[in-house]
Amino acid sequence: MTATTTTSGTTAGVRVAALAEIPPGEGRAYVVPTGAGEVQVAVFHHRDGRVSAVDAVCPHSGGPLADGQIDSCVVVCPLHLNTWDLRTGASTSGQAPVRVHGVAVDDDGGVRVTPR
């Protein structure tokens, strides 16, 4: 999915989806524009309502992290079961880290990503 750059109130960033479009406990991948091109970002909707965003591609073998299973703070790559902390991007299984991107939900339910 491709995102659009917008600003709503004091929340800046790129609107990628409505939170209702990402089922709780799942993730979705989005192409987010940056000043230097684009980045693929995986956005996760936690069962407790929080959202997290990290690079969408596993640095180990290019797997789709948005398709991985999540718990409160870890995503598991669906290809080889490597894991990353969604708060820090650090691998908990000895792989290279992923970038953590800024993410927020607007009052109207829009999910906005700030690529880092």
Burial state string for 30-43 with b = 16 or more CB within 10 A and e = fewer than 16: bebeeeeeebebbb
Query: Among residues of the chain, what percentage have pLDDT more than 70?
Result: 91
Instruction: Give residue 11's pLDDT band: very low, low, confident or very high (50, 70, 90).
Output: low
Q: What is the pTM of this model?
A: 0.89
CA 69 to the chain's CA centroid: 13
Amino acid making up residue 22: I
Sheet containing strand 26-34, edge to edge, reads: 26-34, 37-45, 51-55
Domains, the chain, in order of start with CATH, read 4-114 (2.102.10.10)
Q: Is 62 exposed, middle or buried (0-12, 13-18, 19+ CB in 10 A)?
A: exposed
Query: Is the separation of the CB atoms in 21 and 13 below 8 Å?
Result: no
Confidence of residue 35 (pLDDT cuts 50, 70, 90): confident
> Cβ distance 32 to 43 under 8 Å?
no
Q: Which two tokens stand for residue 50?
A: 């929080």
Q: What is the pLDDT of residues 43-92, one digit of tens each?
A: 999 999 999 999 999 998 899 999 999 999 999 999 999 999 999 999 99
Structure token digits, residue 16: 């990628």
